[in-house]
A and B are shown apart, each in its own frame.
Chain A
């Protein structure tokens, strides 16, 4: 008998980074690293689950900018070149480490095998891994949901029209890539404000996800807390994150990824190898950076990078199995407790950033694979479920208005609104107003005007991405975030003025279309 459900939800998002004007661009590595270390291993895992006949195993959000990048021919071509180079480096490493320390050589061989498999999968799907994700969804292994069009933080939009545009454009983009409209949405940064559900309803969405306090502080008090979804006044369902299961995986200190046997992220061959040896695998600027080949493990708490021990792949793989079993055991206990307390099978919603699995926590995909394999085979108390399947089985829900919340630090909007980034919103709000003005004014545009209007909408959407405000807060790639925001606002403003004055610079328009080439299907009238 099922006493509870576990709903693992992975959020895959990267900002749209596409620079055809440069032959080699550093920030494109974000996509390449995520592909090699996360998306492709997850696909391989999904394929194994499909072959094993598993269904409703996992929910995954693929944001529209990420889908657009994965489907972009230029980025596909560049990634293939990147992967070939990595494979070449791994080959060299296998030769270099042969005869030396056995663990190092085993690690080198592991990398070579991983890159070879990735290359094989990549070539097999001709560079478009979205098709593979779609196939997994069609086989009910995976449920793919959408997100905001460019991951804009919805509570800080100026007008409801802009919120609607973010959601509707995302739904249309999802339909383009996956052949049908989405059923659920991952709200960007889980940012919800009362009234947002009306927009989701308008776009045909049936559920979304919130952080725990979004539902616990809802109105009226939710009887089942965060262990059952609640229906918003419009009927759209909200699932809330389970804090305990999140902490077990997220926390670097208490969580599984901090185990000493796991691979150390911050010590990389890019810094350890002799410069002349590693130079061909660095960017054109020749600055040492991460290559993805790491030979050390975490070793101990507060251990300096120089004192790290060699990574031992079999030991780390054994650890993932133990941790997956422990995770399953804890969920069983949790489900048993809440089932007895509430009288219903609780749903334990585990929300994670997908880059945690593979990129930050190298063994993460293996852990997930073990967990998803163990759950149906080793016990009968809990089962994994997807939101769509849950809604099919359970139709009665309490009506609650969730509270304004996000999953950022401190639970609200401080990450995206503070002294480092509050200057953004004046420009974004002005651009929103102007876009609506254009959409109302141009009822029957000519071909060039239509192109300019659609491009203006793209520029606005790109400027609204929450990533820029996030980066400004965390001070990681500040110049790039500032440049991107300013550029998009600037391009939008130029297009706005050109449209307003009836003189469109076709060269400029073509340049914008070339660089910011996402959402080919966009229709500016969504801003009316």
Chain B
């Protein structure tokens, strides 16, 4: 059990890094790529440098299968659409011999010079522009290795998972020299041409769709929409077969590792990799998805933009204790922060919502989403509050990025002030109007009349600080902010921010963190 825990813990951060790498670059993790390269180099040394594009590789593989060259250890793939059905795999070392078909395929493999021409990677998909070079390099590196082990070939194919990427890479490299036009080469070319045509159609339709949607937007919003589209285009999910293969590989690796660690002992159960989701925006402006009903068409109207690309932070008083804040950053805000504090610092920094009352007290929430979001904050009655969106950098500095309007929460109990000309004592007032009156709102902290006693149940924030408030003076308790999960009524919870308990921050004036 202890081993299991240890393995899971050890696997966690590494998995997280890999996941981040995948999500950032849209390619397989660096670690795996390196491993694949290391495996390949020995084989590549003895053979001339050549490029086998994934299309060609798969063609060759199909050919081999059709001639019965598959080894017994490899699973027999299902028949390809439009191709011949794979025969039962032959067994024995004889299958490793080169068949004429294989030789033909080898001929089709094109040599490329050591320096490659720049490869264009389409920018509409999942690859961010800054990391396009890495995609390109990995595609090309993988394509250089003609005789990879099948497992590695599959990985290469997965690396260039976008047909568009593989097609473009193929086109760019194949223009360097005219290959010998064999039948296999022709078939490969026709296959490639189909891929290119499919990609072109897809890209065109995407552009057209985007253009038609964005034509009514002003240029700045159009650019921003295009950028958000690029970011939000999902990476194609791996197929069922690929998932099965991944599972099988993982199990095999775990079995080997356990056998290696303790020869003769029982295999160690390896926990599946921990999936860590990145913090989502606390709220999006778009309304929640409409519930679907079978057979009934419900018109929910046109969709509204998720954001307006403005700097805005606005606080609204919901009731005497809760304030709702929403915010949004303009497009130029994050790049400006990155220019000033560095990309890594901004990326690794945490976004917090900071509230301050009229005096000097300042309190912060847990993590919130950065660019756009909303939050319900419990601030207490009769408070004048202003909120700031703060980026807390890894070195401890807190940068105030946005500031809200100032709001005042209403009182929960009658005023302590009375007018000389219209004098009414506290006892009179409470006895006449309050004792029989059932207030519509009851505080979570149980404030009551008369005498302005404020019994705070133990366990609630502020219980150690407030006992009885002297009459004639408003209570200046400023409870810390609550996470949305603690909201008292249903249906009012804030959207998901990062879900860890907040801690009070001693932030000094000017947004700098005090230590």
What is the interface of chain A, defined by CB distance below 8 A to chain B? 155-156, 158, 193-194, 211-213, 216-223, 225-226, 243, 341, 398-399, 403-405, 409-414, 417-420, 422-427, 429-430, 473, 479, 482-487, 489-490, 494, 497, 500-501
Contact = CB atoms under 8 A, between A and B. Distances in A.
B488 to A, nearest CB: 10
A403 B410 contact: yes
Contacts of A501: 218
A422 B376 CA distance: 10
Nearest to A402: B410
A257 B450 CA distance: 36
A413 B317 CA distance: 8
Given A403-B411, A423-B288, A430-B308, A412 B318 contact: yes
Contact of B301 (A341, A412, A485): A485
Given A403-B411, A418-B491, 12 more contacts: A193-B317, A217-B411, A217-B413, A219-B415, A220-B418, A222-B422, A411-B440, A413-B318, A419-B494, A425-B326, A485-B301, A501-B218
B492 interface: yes
B414 interface: yes
20 contacts: A155-B316, A212-B437, A213-B439, A217-B412, A225-B432, A410-B319, A412-B440, A413-B318, A413-B319, A414-B492, A420-B491, A422-B326, A423-B287, A429-B314, A430-B312, A479-B300, A482-B300, A482-B301, A494-B216, A497-B216
Interface of B: 216-218, 283-288, 290, 298-304, 308, 310, 312, 314, 316-320, 324, 326, 328, 374, 408, 410-415, 417-419, 421-424, 426, 429, 432-434, 437-441, 489, 491-494
A223 B301 contact: no
A418 B318 CA distance: 8
Nearest to B321: A412
Nearest to B327: A426
A484 to B, nearest CB: 7
A425 B422 CA distance: 40
Contacts of A217: 410-415
Contacts of B217: 497
B369 to A, nearest CB: 14
B433 A226 contact: yes
Contact of A409 (B303, B413, B440): B440
Given A225-B432, A405-B410, A158 B314 contact: yes
Contacts of A482: 287, 290, 300-301
A156 B318 CA distance: 9
A73 B104 CA distance: 83
A155 B310 CA distance: 22
Nearest to A193: B317
Contacts of A485: 301
A486 B316 contact: no
Given A341-B432, A497-B218, A223 B441 contact: no
A426 B317 contact: no
A483 B418 contact: no
B492 A426 contact: no
Which of B286, B374, B438, B440 has the most chain A CB atoms closer than 10 A to its own CB?
B440
**A-B pairs, 4 with minimum CB distance:** A411-B440, A486-B301, A483-B301, A220-B417
A430 B310 contact: yes
Contacts of B216: 494, 497
Given A410-B441, A497-B218, A223 B422 contact: yes
Contacts, number: 153
Contacts of B411: 217, 219, 403
A479 B290 CA distance: 8
A399 B414 CA distance: 15
Contacts of A222: 422, 424
A413 B301 contact: no
Given A422-B283, A430-B308, A501-B218, A221 B417 contact: yes
B317 A155 contact: yes
Contacts of B218: 497, 500-501
Which of B303, B424, B489 has the most chain A CB atoms closer than 10 A to its own CB?
B424
Which of A217, A226, A399, A427 has the most chain B CB atoms closer than 10 A to its own CB?
A217
A266 to B, nearest CB: 23
A414 B317 CA distance: 9
B433 A417 contact: no
A194 B216 CA distance: 40
A138 B316 CA distance: 41
B303 to A, nearest CB: 7
B378 to A, nearest CB: 13
Contact of B286 (A410, A423, A479): A423
B358 to A, nearest CB: 15
B414 A423 contact: no
A479 B297 CA distance: 10
Contacts of B494: 419
A152 B415 CA distance: 29
A220 B408 CA distance: 17
A212 B414 CA distance: 12
Contacts of B419: 220-221, 223, 398-399
A404 B412 CA distance: 11
Contact of A410 (B283, B408, B440): B440
A194 B408 CA distance: 10
Nearest to A427: B304
B294 to A, nearest CB: 15
A430 B285 CA distance: 11
Nearest to B433: A225
Nearest to A500: B218
A417 B318 contact: yes
Contact of A426 (B285, B426, B438, B493): B285
A213 B285 contact: no
Contact of A422 (B304, B374, B429): B374
A112 to B, nearest CB: 36
A341 B285 CA distance: 53
B441 A411 contact: yes
Contact of B304 (A211, A489, A500): A489
B322 to A, nearest CB: 8
A426 B414 contact: no
A422 B217 CA distance: 25
A426 B440 contact: no
A341 B436 CA distance: 15
Which of A156, A212, A412 has the most chain B CB atoms closer than 10 A to its own CB?
A412
Nearest to A406: B440
Contacts of A424: 287
Contact of B410 (A341, A412, A473): A412
A414 B312 CA distance: 22
Contacts of A403: 410-411
A217 B432 CA distance: 14
